[in-house]
Structures are given as C-alpha cells and as structure tokens.
A and B are shown apart, each in its own frame.
Chain A
C-alpha cells in the first residue's frame, strides 16, 4: 500500500484509481486499500502542515479520496465501515459561508469520521437538537463574519443552558475566531485550519494517526 499512499499524496488521481482497480481485481482486502488511501491523506495533511501544500491540494485530495472510495465502499462488509467518531458541523446563525466548514468535513470524512452537516445559518436550537439526537462527541462551529460572533456566543451559551455542555466537546473556527474568543465562550478547542480540526477530532476520540502497511 506504500505505492498507493505515495501516488495519493502526489495527487496523481488517475494513478490512484488505476491502482485501486488493480488491487480490487487481485481481491486485496478492501480495508487494506482504505488504510492505504488514509495513509496517503495523512501524508497530504503533513505536506499541508509543512507549507508545501495549500487548501487547493487538500480539497483535491478529498476529491480523489471520494472517487477511490466509490470503488471500494460497495465491497466493504457490514461493520467494516465503522466510524472513527461522530462529529456535528455547522456555520452559525446569520452566516452562510461554508467553505471552511466543508473543507473540515472533507478532512474528517477522509479520515474515517462520520459527520452530521447542519449546513449554514444554523440557529442555536438546531445545534442543541442535533447534540441530543445524535449523541455526537464533538461539534464544530464555523463563522466568517464579525457580526456572527454573537451568534457563536449565543449558541454555546444555549448549549450550556440546555444542560448538555458536558456531553460534548466544542471546537470553533473561522476568520474572526481567536484564542481570546475561545476562552471567552468556553469552547474547548480552536481550529485554525482543517488539519488542526482533524487533530482535534482525533484527540477527542482518542485516535492515533493512521498506521497502514
């Protein structure tokens, strides 16, 4: 799977698909292929951290991952497709920007997490309902507008007032978000980019990085 991971991290889309097809034809365990893809994604994340890749590469990697998974997923047995953890994501009320949120979702899903995407302009009530109904361990709240900072404050306050704050970890992200705002709102984590958000999710769900041979 080293070759698959290497082709993946080099973003050689056609080569990745070709290799996946070859492995499937040779009856390689689909789980092993998924691990190879995840390892490639891990390397993409590292290249992003090292400043060699930017968001364009992260998003493109996400597209390659989805394309490859379309081939592999039908062959996974029930139960093999288990989730690394359940995460709720949403852009807070009054803000319809979803770019950052969507990149985080791509990174999480490519790394085995299941994501409930509440979309944009999400009122506090909807966050609370999702926490209660899903039993998710982590919620991510995103915003771009400075005018949406109060929506973030309100949403976190409402979660506290609903008595479910201890049930979930909260991470926040977006242009106007700062450590100062994290402390003020009592959010658990601040994710400055999608790779940090993934690191946070792994920490919350006690996951180590992918170890694929």
Chain B
C-alpha cells in the first residue's frame, strides 16, 4: 500500500495495512545528517536533502519539509525577531524568537480595514529593519516554488509531504507574538471587539494564502498552530469568544477547498478536546505533543478525527530504546485501535534525540503496527 493511502485512510478514520508513521521533522534533520542547524535554516537544498535522507532512512510515510525551520516562512509568519543559529546563536543550536511588542493599537485598525499584507508592511520593518514587505513577499514566492519542487521529489520517493502551508494559528496566537503575551492577554479584556473584528480579517487573509499555496504545491493539508489559545492560557469563556470563531472560519474554509486542517496542539489541550467535535467527521488531524492526554483524545475524538502523536521529546532525547518501543506499542494498540491514528513525535523530534530512539519508532511500527 502507498504511503499516501495509509495517511488518507487514517484521516478517513479507517484501517489501512498498518499504522502510518510521520514524525514532525525540523532541527533533528541537521543532527542526523551532519549538517549544521545554520545550514538547515539558510540553505533550501541542504534542508531538503537532509529531510529526504531522514525520511527515507527511517521509512516514514509522511514527512514535513522542515517547514518549521524555513527561515523565510518563519520571518513572514511569526511577528517576532528570529534569532538564528550561526548568526545570533551557536551554529548547532535551534532557532528562538525574541518576543517584543511590535504591534500597536492602530495596527488593529489597519489589519481590519486593509488586510494582512498592509499589517505586515508595518510590522516587518519594525522587526527586521533590513527587510521590506516586498522583499519578504519575493522570498515567499521563491520558497513556495521550492516547496512545490520538494513535495514532488518526496512523492517520487514514496513519501507523502505533510503540509502545504503553515497557518501560525488563530488570530489570538498571532497577536500574542505581535503584541507580546501580557499585552495580548490584557487586550482580551480591554479591547475585545477590536480583537474579534481584526482577528476575523487576519483569518480570512491567512485562509486565502493557505488555499493558494496548497493549490500551488498540491499538498492538501494545512498546519494550524495552536499553543497560546490552549486551556493552559485561556478559560473556556475566553476560548469560546476569541479562538473558536477563528478556528471555525479557518476549518470550514479549508475543508470547502478540499484541504485537511492539521491542528498542531502544543501544551495540554485535554480540557478543550470536546470543542473539536464540532468539526466535520473524518476531515481533520489533531496532532498532540504528549502534554494532552492522548488516550482521552481517542475517547473524545477517536470517531471524529485522526489523532497524530505523541512520543515525548524528553523520551526521544533522554529515554532508552526500550522505553520508546514500549511507549509506541501502547500508542499503536490503544490509539491505533480501529484506525484513525498516525504515529508521530510529540511536537518536533528534538535536536538532541538519539538516533536509536527515532529508529525505535520505525521498529515499533514494523513489529506491532500491522492491522489484521
């Protein structure tokens, strides 16, 4: 059976021949293939070759194109200054963001009236004085072409490319970076209507970009990052008022365009899992990072959307091979039961993951992953 068929079966909540394997790959591609993280982030060819080698060596069904370490996409998608390995940080380290308040109250009006690109034309020079929105968009066009080519090459090697676009999240996630988290959280109470109206425009424009990109690169899945809209940060009331409408807009728009939303859930989402039941059955993937109760997710969402996850990063970095194998066996047997499961790392495979531990995920699939 082809890898893409396994992934599609999981999304359709069906059993294929076996549980598909698709760890979230970014910085570990550099660790494994021996290039530096600086090279991984700055050189598209080296990045892709590292991704391809890793995905082939470990027999993954689906692989990310290390989108989450693509410097062009990060600079355009995250409104905080990117600290880069090889420039601001040691060349063998992962990137980080220097979060500062770069978005003013006036910028909410600009976003609402003139849209996302108008907002970016104000924010980008504040974050990166050496850049303009025009140069950022040119870089984005180049990156889009590269992703289209890379996706085709992955498919030639029997590996399904994971996502065709990364939506940094519902508007609140974006505002948390652009306004700084304390200010964004106080905005929820001090200017709630402005957040909602500007946030809606943010989602509409982001949705347009996602659909266009996905159409170009022919990858019919789109990543939606959700972290600071989790129950760790927000009460039910705030989530329902500020995040859920955005998610509904994004999800319905993507599904109407035959694109599968992939909710990338950082931190503990257990308390909010029931909200995901409202999305159409067999049309989404929820990706968990080991802080959410994945067995609870199976119970609440198992008949509703594919579940992807969640071998903990600390286990991959510091556990033993046996511990990883046991963890995967448990996931395969419990979450994989009846289909609708994709075995993956909990968030990205960490930079310091042991090779044996990443291999253990593949071996676990080969040993216990087959559906009878």
Residues of A within 8 A of B (CB): 11, 13, 51-57, 59-60, 62-63, 94-97, 99, 102, 145-147, 149, 175-176, 178
Contact with A along B33-77 (1 / 0, CB 8 A): 000000000000000000000000000000000000000000000
Collect the chain A residues with CB atoms within 8 Å of residue B314's CB. 146, 149, 176, 178
With A52-B235, A53-B235, A146-B313 given, can you name 13 additional A-B contacts, CB distance below 8 Å? A55-B234, A56-B235, A56-B238, A59-B181, A59-B185, A63-B186, A96-B98, A97-B96, A102-B182, A145-B350, A146-B314, A147-B93, A175-B291
Collect the chain A residues with CB atoms within 8 Å of residue B267's CB. 175
The closest CB in chain A to the CB of B181 belongs to A99
Collect the chain B residues with CB atoms within 8 Å of residue A56's CB. 185, 188, 233-235, 238
Which one of A54, A147, A175 contacts B233 once the chains associate, using CB atoms below 8 Å? A54
Whether the Cβ atoms of B271 and A51 lie closer than 8 Å is: yes
Whether the Cβ atoms of A59 and B235 lie closer than 8 Å is: no
CB distance from A63 to the nearest CB of B (A): 5
B134 within 8 A of A: no
Give Cα distance in the complex from A59 to B190, angstroms.
Answer: 14
Whether the Cβ atoms of A59 and B98 lie closer than 8 Å is: no
The closest CB in chain A to the CB of B313 belongs to A146
Whether the Cβ atoms of A147 and B94 lie closer than 8 Å is: yes
Given A11-B189, A63-B186, A146-B314, decide whether A54 and B231 contact each other with a Cβ distance below 8 A. yes
Most chain A beta-carbon neighbours within 10 Å: one of B235, B351, B352: B235
The size bracket of the interface on B is: 20 to 34
B191 within 8 A of A: no
Inter-chain contact count A-B, CB under 8 Å?
Answer: 65
CB distance from B257 to the nearest CB of A (A): 32
Whether the Cβ atoms of B189 and A60 lie closer than 8 Å is: yes
Whether the Cβ atoms of A54 and B96 lie closer than 8 Å is: no
Given A51-B271, A54-B233, decide whether A147 and B351 contact each other with a Cβ distance below 8 A. yes
Residues of B within 8 A of A (CB): 83, 93-94, 96, 98, 181-182, 185-186, 188-190, 231-235, 238, 267, 271, 291, 313-314, 317-318, 350-352
Whether the Cβ atoms of A147 and B185 lie closer than 8 Å is: no
Give Cα distance in the complex from A96 to B181, angstroms.
Answer: 15
Collect the chain A residues with CB atoms within 8 Å of residue B271's CB. 51
Collect the chain B residues with CB atoms within 8 Å of residue A99's CB. 181
A-B contact pairs, 30 of them (CB 8 A): A53-B235, A54-B232, A54-B234, A55-B233, A56-B185, A56-B234, A56-B235, A59-B181, A59-B185, A60-B185, A60-B186, A60-B188, A62-B182, A63-B182, A63-B186, A94-B93, A95-B96, A96-B96, A96-B98, A97-B96, A145-B94, A146-B318, A146-B351, A147-B94, A147-B317, A147-B350, A147-B351, A149-B317, A176-B314, A178-B314
The closest CB in chain A to the CB of B239 belongs to A54
The closest CB in chain B to the CB of A62 belongs to B182
Give Cα distance in the complex from A56 to B231, angstroms.
Answer: 10
Give Cα distance in the complex from A135 to B190, angstroms.
Answer: 40
CB distance from A128 to the nearest CB of B (A): 22
- 5 nearest A-B pairs in the assembled complex, by CB-CB distance: A146-B350, A56-B185, A55-B233, A146-B317, A59-B185
CB distance from A125 to the nearest CB of B (A): 18
CB distance from B324 to the nearest CB of A (A): 14
Collect the chain A residues with CB atoms within 8 Å of residue B351's CB. 146-147
Give Cα distance in the complex from A99 to B233, angstroms.
Answer: 11
The closest CB in chain B to the CB of A178 belongs to B314
CB distance from A171 to the nearest CB of B (A): 19
